[in-house]
Every structure is written in structure tokens, then in C-alpha cells.
Amino acid sequence: QDIHEGLNFSAADDESSFGIFSIKFSKDGREIAVGNSNESICIYDLGANKVTERIQAHVADVNAVTFADESSDVLYSGSDDSLCKVWDRRCHKRTKPVGVLAGHLDGVTFIDSRGDGHYFISNCKDQTIKLWDIRKLSSATKDCTPKAYEWDYRWMTYPSEARFLKHPYDQSLATFRGHSVLRTLIRCHFSPMHSTGQRYIYTGSSDQCVYIYDVATGNVVETLKWHESIVRDCSWHPHLPTLVSSSWDGYLVRWEATEDDDDPTTLNKGKQKMCPEGYTFTL
């Protein structure tokens, strides 16, 4: 019989409740990193069955947290304060980041690490994905107020006058535009190393599509259309040329390689519940 046990992330001296927005296993499966609405990062040790680290990381909701590589020593976090931060657990002062990366103009919704300890990407309510190299981070943020407009992504459209604003101290390597981040914390990912060499970045979108970008050029190389509502997340199989997207329309859609195509990144779509026939596209 399976036993399901809740993990308690509450602090002993604080009984207030908070929401968990991001959760990630370490590569060795021994720890879980959590980002939450309490503006903090928690590290839960599964063997000890308790929170072993609690970092007051940002000044707004921590929507994204992930481990940088297999060592689990370094963490990346992203927040509604528009900042990405890098944390090294080997440092004596674990309560302070080893660096801050500025460039987004609004809340960060998701972070995905390339797994090499250097690069990661972040999705954002400013309607962009940014590529970062942590070797270019700064020890502190510049004194600036990038958000010069007021809006709420949960029910408003993105202000047209803000679409091409630029952060005065943008530290990112590249910016990817085309998809839409509205209503929910939409995810983005690097494509897998085995089948694509991590050549692509792909993301869900509130305009009901999956977008695939070329990392080198920044261009949209394919837009996958089938869903009838927001695509919140998608996942590319680590070895097979198969991608699955999930949507608020209640469906999972599987995208697979065509049989007669030599390119393993060429996919077609098939609806899981009905009409398995798909449409092809080429990267």
C-alpha cells in the first residue's frame, strides 16, 4: 500500500500560510528546492524529513527556482521583483546571493538551467525569454525602476507601449520574443541534449501555441498550433523526438517525428483523446 505524507515547509516560529509556486528535485534526489509567496527559497532534505535551509531571497513572490547542475551546490531563482539571482550553498553567507542578473522588466515566471553550471533561461511577464550566463552577473543591482507602467497579467493584456522597452542595465546574452505570457506562470525549457544538442528553446504561450526558438539566431523556427486555450507547459522527451504540451483546454497533445524525415527534431501533432492523426512541421 502506498503511503503519502505531506512535507511541512512552515517555519517553527511562523505559522502563517504561503503558496508554493516552484518545486525542483536535486539531481541526486535527496533534496527539494521550493520557491514560494513568502519571498523565500526553502531546501527540504528528504532523508532528514525537514527544511534544512530557508533563504529570504527576494522582495516579491519567488515564482521559479532550480538547481544549476548535478552538484546541487548552486541555485537559480526568479521573482516578481523582475530579478534573477544566483545562490552558492558552499558560501559562508548563504543568506546573500553570489550575484544578481537584471534585464527583465516584470515578474519572472520560470527558470530552466542548461545543466552546465553557466547558462540558464527565464520566462517573464514582460513577454520575453532571456538567456543568461552567470559569469556575467553583478554583485548588486543598479539603482533603477524598470517597471514604468501598471498592469496585472492575470486579467489584462500587455501594454503595447511597453512591448519594446529595454532595461537600462540588461545583462542577458539574448532576448526571445514572439510568445505571450498572460494569466499563469508559463514555463520554458531548453530542448534535450541527446536529440537536439540543446539547439532550441521552447515554451508554452497564452495565445494557445507552443513556440520553438533557435538559440543561436533568436528566431521563431516553429509555432505549434492545435490547442484552444493557454498552453502552460510542454516537455520534450530526453531521447526520443517527442514533445507533449498541456493546456487549459483540458488536453495533452503529443507531437512526434514523421517517419520519413531524417531530422529527429521534426515533429507532428496528434491529439491524445481523439483524432490521433497529426500535422507535420519542420525545424
pLDDT at 206: 98
pLDDT tens sequence across 74-91: 999 999 999 999 999 998
Domain 20-139+149-177 top-level CATH class: mainly beta
Mean pLDDT within 243-252: 96
Which residues, 6 or more positions from 100, have their beta carbon under 8 angstroms from its beta carbon? 83, 84, 85, 86, 137, 138, 139, 140, 141
pLDDT at 269: 54
**Cβ(80)–Cβ(108) below 8 Å:** yes
Which DSSP string corresponds to 47-69?
A: TTTEEEEEEE--SS-EEEEEESS
- Greater confidence, 56 or 257? 56
CA atoms within 13 A on the CB side of 95: 1
Is 156 a residue whose pLDDT tops 70? Answer: yes
pLDDT at 143: 56
Which DSSP string corresponds to 231-279?
A: EEEEEE-SSSSEEEEEETTS-EEEEEE-TT-S-TT-EEEEESSS-----
pLDDT at 101: 96
Burial group, residue 272, by CB count within 10 angstroms (0-12, 13-18, 19+): exposed
pLDDT tens sequence across 250-265: 999 999 866 544 554 4
pLDDT at 259: 52
How many other C-beta atoms are found inside a 10 Å radius of the C-beta of residue 170? 15
pLDDT band at 276 (very low <50, low <70, confident <90, very high): very low
CATH superfamily of 178-283: YVTN repeat-like/Quinoprotein amine dehydrogenase (2.130.10.10)
pLDDT at 1: 66
pLDDT at 139: 74
Mean pLDDT within 145-174: 88
pTM confidence score? 0.89
d(CA 187, CA 244) in angstroms, rounded, equals 13
pLDDT at 126: 96
Mean pLDDT within 43-54: 95
Percentage with pLDDT > 70 across the chain: 87
pLDDT tens sequence across 91-143: 867 789 999 999 999 999 999 999 999 999 999 999 999 999 999 988 766 65
pLDDT tens sequence across 182-217: 999 999 999 999 999 999 999 999 999 999 999 999
Is 147 a residue whose pLDDT tops 90? Answer: no
pLDDT at 271: 42
CATH 2.130.10.10 positions along the chain are 20-139+149-177, 178-283
Is 239 a residue whose pLDDT tops 90? Answer: yes
pLDDT band at 278 (very low <50, low <70, confident <90, very high): very low
Distances (CA, A) of 206 to 148, 222, 248: 23, 16, 10
For 140-186, what is the HEC assignment?
CCCCCCCCCCCCCCCCCCCCHHHCCCCCCCCCCCEEEECCCCCCCCC
